Amino acid sequence: MDSGAYLASQLAKGFARSLHQRAAGLGFSPGQFPILLELWAEDGLTQKQLLERVDIEQATMANTLSRMVRDGLIERRPHPTDKRAQLIFLTEKARAMETKAIDTAREADLALFKGFRAFERELMFEYIRRLINNAKAL
């Protein structure tokens, strides 16, 4: 099909499958990975901050965070000044898996670019970034 959005969707599904296969033994799912990345970069964010950074629907975020609590990846703590908010922190389990998880995602990414030369890969990244910026402007 000659639709960029359709092809991007298929690419995202392929990456998620590849990541899922590689990450199954580490204890996280592809949907949790963007949240983990944000918390590895800055632990103790609110759900609202995560929503802004990860750009997913509120209901999806709430469900994903609940699964992450269940899976022992995060814990929620009361916000010190905002009684309505909670801060989300990584557990030791999640902190310990950071390097392996990032390496696993990198392996999944490299598998998608099998057969690409370095400049082709970089060019594709540039095109994808431009598409994402265009999509955000819609």
Q: What is the pLDDT of residues 11-49, one digit of tens each?
A: 888 888 888 888 878 888 888 999 999 999 999 999 999
Helix locations, 78-117, DSSP H: 92-96, 98-112
Please give the Cα distance from 65 to 69 (Å, whole number): 6
pLDDT at 68: 96
Q: 11-137 architecture in CATH?
A: Orthogonal Bundle (1.10)
CB-CB neighbours of 30 under 10 Å? 19
Own/partner contacts of 8-17, CB < 8 Å, gap of 24 or more, are 8/131, 11/112, 14/112, 15/108, 15/109, 15/112
pLDDT at 1: 61
Domain ranges for the chain, please list them. 11-137
The reported pTM is 0.82
Element (H, E) at 79: none
Question: Which pLDDT band holds residue 54 (cuts at 50, 70, 90)?
Answer: very high
